[in-house]
Chains A and B, each alone.
Chain A
Amino acid sequence: MIDSPYEHHDYDVLIIGAGGAGLRAAIEAKQRGLKVGIITKSLLGKAHTVMAEGGIAAAMGNVYEEDNWMVHFRDTMRGGKYLNNYRMAELHAKESPERVWDLEQWGALFDRTKNGKILQRDFGGHRFARLAHVGDRTGLELIRTLQQKVVSMDTDVFMECKVLKLVHDADGRMAGCVAYWRATGEFVTFAAKAVIVATGGVGKSWKFTSNSWEGTGDGHAMALWAGAKLIDMECIQFHPTGMVWPLSVRGLLVTEGVRGDGGVLRNSEGQRFMFNYVADMFRAETADSEEEADKWYDDHTAGRRPPELLPRDEVARAINTEVKAGRGTPHGGVYLDIASRRSAEFIRRRLPSMYHQFMELAGVDITRESMEIGPTCHYIMGGIQVEADTAATVVPGLFAAGEAAGGMHGANRLGGNSLSDLVVFGRRAGMGAADYVQAGDTATSFDLGEVEAAVRDALAPFERATGENPYTIQHDLQELMQTKVGIIRNGPELEEAKGQLDEFVERVKNIAVKGGRAYNPGWNLTTDLPAMLTVSRSTAIAASLRRESRGGHTREDFPQADPAFAKFNFALSSEGGNWDSPMVAVESALLALPEDLKALLEEAK
């Protein structure tokens, strides 16, 4: 028995995060007959997964029979600029069709082909139409389906409960966590034989982001503090199409489905500029004229792919260059035009959320006018280093899945590969955790010293009569990350950023919180900031070390990819395990690709 001074719960498997990965992990562990608890800092069903629009990538071959897992694997590795954990990319490509069919068995209603199969749409970097979807609200369908399944299995869900720190046993195994209830501010401890981190991304540390307030990297940071390693933290995806106006919605996502369904990018001179930005590695498969590109939408064998559907890193950099060259829109973006290319009826049916989003928030009718768009911080490829098959970290009993885990997407993620990542590796994390629990060598104690330290840190800001406003610190952090660790980076600015981030650590230690503990958003933000700083520091450190450009990491001082850097990930670990501890980076060699898989990539070249 654990003698916790706070409300206490015991589980076999504890899952932190109730997005797609966390819920899918819960289903799997629950099906194994284990006692499963899920903790979420929001309400159930509100996780960032709902924001996914375009679809879930799975080589089912419903639209193009030629599609199969080998093509999907190859597309994913090429999109990731070969920095991927190949085994994750392989498992993902092989298993995602089964995972989509799971969803259908649990009630998901995907759009259909004429013969009643699941319809699949085109997306950037995917050779064939591969994304199962529901209009442009696929993420909502995914989370609602998983949520309803989890609820029907009578799983315990702790809503609006914010985890502060992971807790070990005396031998360094994972033993649970300490959290607080947002509604009351009271602390609560959870003991667990295995913990799965499925906390999503980190995008809230950037100024222009598609991420909600939740994207503060809690899981990345807590796993690092607990002894796990973070890889590829320099690889951040700036989605090419975020809204740029009005300012209040700047960064809000505009689905890639607009381009998949025929939308094109134009600069202020009306030029379809993407034809000027086709990198050598994609030249053979990309159209070189508008006529050829336009034929492709109806028949993929009649022409090569339009350049608007290059992987996201390529498109985002191109937009950035056009704007910097003075060919941007009045609000600093470029034009995304589907109005002149598809009927109003088609646009409203295929892109209903986009239609409403622009109509209601910007007063723009996308069936008649072009959208103004620009890159927005969207996704982190980097994350907690895991073993592909089991989702296990180096900390015994600690697992990670979804955006919080790293390796699957390499240096750049293809659209649609995120939702499939959630269900493929959410399930594998549930299996890995269940195997670990059932093997029996699990935590034997619960370090209450770690609990008390976390509680002390959390309450300290109430004891300062004067100090900094947490919102000001968050605002300044977002400015810093946007300007110096943004889409285009350089060595001197990264060095400056690292120095300034160290100053932020001191500022966070001087925050004064006003008000009480019950549902206090200022205090909640204060408890987010240590994680935000940890992930921001890790991105700045890794970005300064990777002296090349690759995927979601672009250095203007090293504009080319360097083959020497294609052999390893930068892996960061914490020296001390506290949020303000220093971090060290080492080169972690990529898994060697087996010959049969290497042949798949060779054929493609």
Chain B
Amino acid sequence: MADVTMRIWRGDSSGGDFENYTVDLSEGEVVLDIIHRIQATEAPDLACRWNCKAGKCGSCSAEINGKPRLMCMTRMDQLPEGPVTVTPMKTFPIIRDLVTDVSFNYEMAKRVPALLPPPMPEGGYRMFQEDVERGQEFRKCIECFMCQDVCHVIRDHEENKQHFAGPRFFIRYAELEMHPLDQNDRRDLIREEMGLGYCNITKCCTEVCPEHIHITDNAIIPLKERVVDAHYDPVAWLGRKITRRTKRSAAEAAVQPAP
């Protein structure tokens, strides 16, 4: 098959530039195959992150021709003709070449109050398929962080990272809030500290999700309704005052279960 020119960003936190590599294509190859071939031949130190090469681990996220994609699931023969540009995810700090520092996401993960279930009855919990399916959709997430990368709240505003969990964690919160066994209450936390209100529903996250999770429609919007109801609905507010008097702040409302 024909040759193709790959324009790959190379550099580190101090700066960098594009380098061009000309490679020949074989049938069915994906972008990650080409990166691997460049590593094995011209540039053994070309940094990229990958693991499964099957679209299941979410490690090889990058921006291909400016759009966040998994390199292992992007067929070369489905890209437009001409040079293919590969750049690291923009929202996260550069480590080297195509590898970024995604620790923001791991910090946000630490702040999620875990599931708080009732004690397990003999023979296991009973839950019904229709009740677990809502959460199962969100648990398809492979943590590629492309939804975080594309979200303009943090893509263009570094300062927002302190108080904005991002779409990946909104689906995590939605999953927990909709979990049939959960007894925790994270609504104040989500509103006060996780920045759900910053999202203005442009659906960029939903569009890039490789697992086709309906992030905006099935997680963020229901989560917004739930959080707003809890806060502004006077009946709900009074109810909470009566039944949950001990929970006065976001941090108190949501607890980390004992190990």
Contacts and interface: CB of A to CB of B under 8 A. Distances in A.
Contacts of B30: 248-249, 361
A302 interface: no
B142 A140 contact: yes
A248 B26 contact: yes
Contact of A253 (B47, B54, B123, B257): B54
A101 B28 contact: no
Nearest to B73: A360
A519 B139 contact: no
Contacts of A516: 45
Nearest to B124: A101
B45 A213 contact: no
A109 B175 CA distance: 10
B45 A60 contact: no
A471 interface: yes
Interface stretch (A145-153, A421-429, A448-456): A145-153
A592 interface: no
A514 B44 contact: yes
B136 A109 contact: yes
B40 A515 contact: no
Interface stretch (A40-48, A220-228, A311-319, A597-605): A40-48
A361 B49 contact: no
B54 A357 contact: yes
A135 B129 CA distance: 12
B27 A246 contact: yes
B124 A60 contact: yes
A48 B141 CA distance: 16
Given A101-B124, A137-B140, A356-B55, A522 B27 contact: no
B40 A471 contact: yes
A44 B106 contact: yes
A117 B124 contact: yes
A148 B54 contact: no
Contact of B136 (A46, A134, A470, A520): A134
B45 A522 contact: yes
Given A141-B139, A515-B45, A31 B127 contact: no
Given A148-B109, A519-B47, A137 B56 contact: yes
Contact of B52 (A51, A112, A362, A515): A51
Interface residues of A, number: 72
A106 B112 CA distance: 13
Nearest to B96: A519
Interface in A456-471: 469-471
B253 to A, nearest CB: 16
Interface string A134-168: 11010111001000110111100001000000000
B59 interface: yes
Contacts of B136: 109, 134-135
Interface in A509-550: 513-516, 518-523
B56 A50 contact: yes
B75 A361 contact: yes
A513 B44 contact: yes
Contacts of A212: 50-53, 57
B120 A101 contact: yes
A518 B96 contact: yes
Contacts of A141: 139
B111 to A, nearest CB: 10
A68 to B, nearest CB: 14
Contact-residue size bin, chain B (C-beta under 8 Å from the other chain): 35 or more
Contacts of B58: 46
A152 B136 CA distance: 20
B6 interface: no
B132 A50 contact: no
Interface string A109-129: 111100111100000000000
Interface string B50-91: 111111111100000000000001010000000000000000
A475 B126 CA distance: 50
A328 B87 CA distance: 41
A140 B210 CA distance: 15
B95 interface: yes
A109 B132 contact: yes
Contacts of B106: 43-44, 151, 159
A209 to B, nearest CB: 11
Interface in A19-56: 27, 30-31, 42-48, 50-51
Nearest to A45: B143
Contacts of A43: 49, 59, 102, 106
Contacts of B167: none
A245 interface: yes
A520 B4 CA distance: 25
Contacts of B179: 107, 109
Nearest to B256: A152
A353 interface: yes
B169 to A, nearest CB: 12
A89 interface: no
A105 B117 CA distance: 7
A197 interface: no
B250 interface: no
Contact of B56 (A51, A135, A521): A51
Nearest to B114: A152
B115 A106 contact: yes
A104 interface: yes
A521 B48 contact: yes
B28 A246 contact: yes
A353 B56 contact: yes
B44 A117 contact: no
Max chain B C-beta neighbours (<10 A), residue from A139, A140, A245: A140
A464 to B, nearest CB: 14
A95 interface: no
A144 B44 contact: no
Contacts of B139: 109, 134, 140-141, 144
B156 interface: no
A471 B39 contact: yes
A134 B56 CA distance: 14
Question: What 8 pairs across the A-B complex have the smallest Cβ distances?
Answer: A246-B28, A515-B45, A522-B44, A116-B126, A471-B40, A152-B114, A107-B115, A519-B96
Interface of A: 27, 30-31, 42-48, 50-51, 60, 101, 104-107, 109-112, 115-118, 134-135, 137, 139-141, 144, 148-149, 151-154, 159, 183, 212-214, 245-249, 252-253, 353, 356-357, 360-362, 469-472, 475, 513-516, 518-523
15 contacts: A43-B59, A46-B58, A50-B56, A101-B124, A106-B114, A109-B139, A117-B123, A137-B140, A139-B56, A212-B52, A212-B53, A248-B28, A361-B73, A520-B47, A522-B45
Given A109-B132, A249-B28, 12 more contacts: A104-B125, A107-B114, A109-B135, A109-B179, A112-B127, A153-B259, A247-B28, A475-B40, A519-B97, A520-B47, A521-B45, A521-B48
